[in-house]
Amino acid sequence: MTEQTEKAVPAAEAPLPRGEEPAAEGHRIAPLRGELSNTAAFFWGFTCIAGVLAVWFVITAGPPGEAEKRMVSPTTLPSVAETFQAIPRVFGERKLVTNTLVTLKRVCLGFGLSCIVGVPLGILAACLPALRAFLAPLMVFGRNIPVAALIPLTFFFFGIGEFQKVMFLFIASVAFVLSDTAAAVLDVPQRYVDTALTLGASRWQIITKVLGPLAAPSIFNSLRLLFGLAFGYVMLAELVKFGSASGGLGDLINMSQRRGEREPILLVLVIIPMVAWAIDRALWWLQSDLFPYRYGGAGLIPRFCGWLLHGRRTEFRP
């Protein structure tokens, strides 16, 4: 091992033999695992979107009124223009904004409940091995259960209203929240616990003042990723339903499907990932700002809170 590295160092500095000169140009355009400039990254991303739209445009192109001449029939896939013409209808008649907010409210309630239960319990489970072993079977069950199969069960338990959707999300996500939280606490290096012990901290103080706060960045990161998962699950709960319209993006898709309209479905499918992505970015900003020592944010919120708490004695440096 050492020999190899010793040999490798001079070899890298020595001029390469003739005919083995590196393909410098190629490496500059496509460096292995390298960074790309913002402009280049934007260009490639834009190219992808344009490519997808172009393919969509070509396979659905045809003279107006002669649908049978298209490569793909409009009953399978409407054309780009037809889809975007449906925008006003989706926003107006189908109340896209309201339905998005209804869906978000459900995710926030269900996933919020998971956090309220899962995070404290996860921290305790990491700290108390007996509790961890006690919860282990539930974790295995909760993480591996096919989520869709839970839906009929939740109808029996929680009825067909809002409560059922919130509880479905809670059951589907709480095991992940709990086990990710426990893993984050177990990942805090033992030396912090040792330090706290030699500084006279009690067991409870170690949990609340050391392990909890030091695991917080990882916990927040897990919750951000799991929020995306919960956003996917809520669609499932809204698609499978009894009775009348209950609102939400899933319901919007359901209604369009029953009326045989493809355009609203396609639009909602475009909008859902965009909303999810925007939420994820917002949470990422919050995360890096809350934990600048871990994610390199500006730390505006902690500094502002510190300034509020300590007043003049610490200066607020944005």
Distance of closest approach, residue 216 Cβ to another protein, in angstroms: 7
Per CB under 8 A, does 191 bind another protein?
yes
- What are the angstrom distances between the C-alpha of 136 and each of 132, 140, 180, 241, 271? 6, 6, 13, 32, 38
233-246 burial code (b ≥16 CB/10 A, e <16): bbbbbbbebeeeeb
Q: For another protein, give the closer residue by CB, 54 or 199.
A: 199
Per CB under 8 A, does 62 bind another protein?
no
Per CB under 8 A, does 203 bind another protein?
no
* Cβ pair 175, 230 in contact under 8 A: no
Q: How many CA atoms lie within 13 A of 60 on its CB side?
A: 16
Q: What SS3 class is residue 170?
A: helix
Number of residues that bind another protein (CB under 8 A): 26
Per CB under 8 A, does 305 bind another protein?
no
Per CB under 8 A, does 194 bind another protein?
yes
**Which of 152, 159, 213, 232 is in the footprint of another protein by CB under 8 A?**
213
Angle between helices 249-258 and 96-127 (to 10 degrees): 130
Per CB under 8 A, does 196 bind another protein?
yes
How many residues in total does the chain contain?
A: 318
Please identify, among the stretches 14-22, 98-106, 202-210, 239-247, the one whose residues bind another protein according to the rule CB under 8 A.
Answer: 202-210
CA distance 155 to 163: 10
Please identify, among the stretches 14-22, 43-51, 197-205, 247-255, the one whose residues bind another protein according to the rule CB under 8 A.
Answer: 197-205
CA distance 109 to 107: 6
Phi, psi of 20 (to 5 degrees): -115, 25
Q: For another protein, give the closer residue by CB, 187 or 194.
A: 194
Q: Is the dihedral of CA 259, 156, 269, 84 positive or negative?
A: positive
Please identify, among the stretches 11-19, 103-111, 273-281, 289-297, the one whose residues bind another protein according to the rule CB under 8 A.
Answer: 289-297
Closest CA to 97 of 266, 247, 276, 279: 247
Q: For another protein, give the closer residue by CB, 197 or 276.
A: 197
Per CB under 8 A, does 205 bind another protein?
yes
Per CB under 8 A, does 299 bind another protein?
yes
Distance of closest approach, residue 282 Cβ to another protein, in angstroms: 22
Per CB under 8 A, does 74 bind another protein?
no
- What are the angstrom distances between the C-alpha of 35 and each of 44, 45, 211, 296? 13, 15, 35, 18
Please identify, among the stretches 140-148, 152-160, 185-193, 230-238, the one whose residues bind another protein according to the rule CB under 8 A.
Answer: 185-193
The contact set with another protein (CB under 8 A) reads 189, 191-192, 194-202, 205, 209-210, 213-214, 216, 291-294, 299, 306, 314-315
